[in-house]
Structure 1
C-alpha cells in the first residue's frame, strides 16, 4: 500500500499545490481542514479515493490525533494573516503548530514539513512574525529533524497579493500602498510546493529554508509590474506610516463595533510587517540547495492577471488588430 501524508490546511493556497504534487508522487493524501465540504475540489488531484478531505481543528488534541492516524509524513500549511474569533496568532501559528509536531512525534511519524514565513522573528514588532518564530521553535522541540520553509510573498493564480491589488487598480486613478519602499522577493507557489514535497518524502534534509524568487523589488516596483501586466496606468501613492496606522485603527474599531462584519483592509500588525524587508537573510538554505530553479514573475503573472485588463481576454487580440490597421 502506498504511503500516507496528512496535510493540515491542504485546501489553502499553498496547501492545494502541495496536495496535488504529493498525489502525483503516488502518496495517499489526507487533507485536514476545518470545513471538509468546502475542500471537495482536492479529490480529483488523484485517482478515486487517493485524496480525501477530513475534518480537523488544530486547536484540539483529539482532532489532530485522528487526522494523523496511520500517516507516514505530515505537512503543516495552516496560517492566518488576520486574527478572528478564536483564531489568534498564538493559538494557530504557535500552539497549533506545536500540537501537530508533538502528536506526530508521539505517533512515530518520521517526516514533518512546517510552512512558516520569511521574517519569522521572536523580537519582531509584528505579532504575526513572533507567532511564526515561536511556532518554529515548538516544531523543532518535538521534531528536531523537521524541515521548516520560510517563503517570501507567494504568488500564483489564487494569491491574495497581486490579485488583490489588480482588483483595486480597476477603480480610480490612484493605487495607495503601505511600505512602498519595502523590499520583497516573491516566490512562485508551485516552487514552494516542490520544496515541501522534497522534505515530506525524505529527499531533502531537515533544517530551515528561506524560499524566494529570482527577483528582488520594492513594493512600489512590484505594483508597477502588476500594472504593466494588466495594462493600466495608475499613480502609485506610498502612504506615510502614521496615516496607515490611523486608518488601521479606524478599520479595527469599525470591525469591533460591527461584531466582525466590517472588513479590515489592513491592520496595525500588518503595518509592522510591511515596514521590514521581506527577503532572505542569507543565513539559511534556499531553493538552490534543493536544486529548484525559481520561477520568474513575468512568466506567470500574465497567465492569471489578464481578467483585470480593460479588455480582459481580448486585450492582445485588440492590440494585434490595431497593428494590422496601422
Structure 2
C-alpha cells in the first residue's frame, strides 16, 4: 500500500517566492496547504494538484491551531520590506513566536524559516534587526529548525530588476542612492529549490546562505536591468544625505515606497555571504547568475516564450548536474 504524501503548511505561499516554492513542493510530491487572507491572492497557484487554499489570518492563534494538525512540516515565507517598528515586530518577531507555540501544541516540530542575509541584532536597519530577533525566537523554541538566508532575489515577476528596467524605459537618468552597496543576488528558482531541500532531515539545526554566484553593486544591478531590458540609462550616484531625503519623499508617496530610509540603512552593510554558513552548494544546488536568467524575462519575446527559455535553462542545468553526478 502506497503511503500518503507528506503534507506541508506554507505561510506566504501566495507571494513572489511562495509561488515558486509551492510549484517545487508539488513536483516533489508534497501535499500543500496555503493560508491567505483573500483566496483571490492564490489564483496563480490554486491550479496545482494537491494544493489547498484556506482563507485565514496567520496572525491569529486560533487560525494557526486549526491549520497545523495533519501537517508534517511548515515553511514560513512571511516578511515585509517596508513598515514601522511595530509592523516589523508583528511580522518578523511576533508571528514566528506565535507559529512556534502553535507548532509545538499541534505536534508539528519541523519548520523551515526563510529569513534574510545580513540579519543582526546590531544592524543599522530595523528590518534586519527584527529578522534577527525572529530567528532567535525560533532557535529558542526547541523546534526542528532550518534557516535559509537569501540575498536580494531576482526572477520573472520580481519587483527589483523589473522596477529598474521600467524606470530606465521612462527616465533619461537614474539618480541612485546607495549605488556602491554590494549584493549577491540569487535566482528565485534556486531559493525555491533550497526551501524544499531544507525539508530534508539532515538540515535540522543548520543555516544556509542563499546567494548567487556574482557579487554586484546596486549600480551594477541597475546597469544590468537596463542592459537586459529596453534601454540602459546613465546612473547618477547620490550622496547619502541627498539619498535619505529622496527616500523620505518616497515614503510620503501613496502605496509601497520604491525605497525607504531603512532600506538605505540596510545597504550600509554589504549584503554578501561571509562564509560563516554553508551556501546552496551544500544543498546540491548549482546556482544561476543574472546574466543567464535576466535576459529571459526583462526584454524580448512574449511571456510564453520567456517561460520556455527559463525551462530550457533549467533543463540544461539539470543535464549538467546529472552528468557531474554520473
Q: Is TM (by shorter chain) over 0.5?
A: yes
Equivalent residue number for residue 28 of structure 2: 25
Q: Equivalents in 2 of 1:170, 1:231: separation in Å?
A: 6
SS of residue matched to 2:169: coil
Deviates more, 1:213-222 or 1:264-273: 264-273
Equivalent residue number for residue 321 of structure 1: none
Aligned residue pair count = 301
Task: Note the C-alpha offset of 1:181.
Answer: 0.8
Q: Equivalents in 1 of 2:157, 2:165: separation in Å?
A: 13
Q: Equivalents in 1 of 2:97, 2:169: separation in Å?
A: 42
> How is 1:126-141 mapped onto 2 (pairs within 5 angstroms)?
126-141=125-140
Distance 1:263 1:25, change over 3 A: closer
Task: Note the C-alpha offset of 1:229.
Answer: 1.2
For the aligned residue pairs, the C-alpha RMSD in angstroms reads: 2.2
Deviation per CA, 1:99-126, whole angstroms, max 9, x where unpaired? 1122112222132100000111111111
Unaligned runs of 5+ in 1: 256-260, 314-326
Equivalent residue number for residue 297 of structure 1: 290
SS of residue matched to 1:233: coil
Q: Equivalents in 2 of 1:134, 1:308: separation in Å?
A: 44
SS of residue matched to 1:170: helix
> How is 1:37-186 mapped onto 2 (pairs within 5 angstroms)?
37-46=40-49, 50-83=50-83, 88-186=87-185
Equivalent residue number for residue 279 of structure 1: 272
Distance 1:15 1:203, change over 3 A: farther
Equivalent residue number for residue 316 of structure 1: none
Q: Equivalents in 1 of 2:200, 2:37: separation in Å?
A: 25
Deviates more, 1:106-115 or 1:201-210: 201-210
Equivalent residue number for residue 198 of structure 1: 197
Distance 1:62 1:178, change over 3 A: same
Question: Is the 1:112–1:199 contact (alpha carbons within 8 Å) kept by the matching residues of 2?
Answer: no
SS of residue matched to 1:44: coil
Question: Is the 2:178–2:243 contact (alpha carbons within 8 Å) kept by the matching residues of 1?
Answer: no
1:268 aligns with 2:261: yes
SS of residue matched to 1:54: strand
Deviation per CA, 1:15-63, whole angstroms, max 9, x where unpaired? 11111111111111001222222213212222xxx10111232322112
Question: Is the 1:112–1:143 contact (alpha carbons within 8 Å) kept by the matching residues of 2?
Answer: no
Distance 1:99 1:307, change over 3 A: farther
Task: Note the C-alpha offset of 1:250.
Answer: 3.0
Task: Note the C-alpha offset of 1:228.
Answer: 1.6
Deviates more, 1:292-301 or 1:262-271: 262-271
Task: Note the C-alpha offset of 1:243.
Answer: 0.7
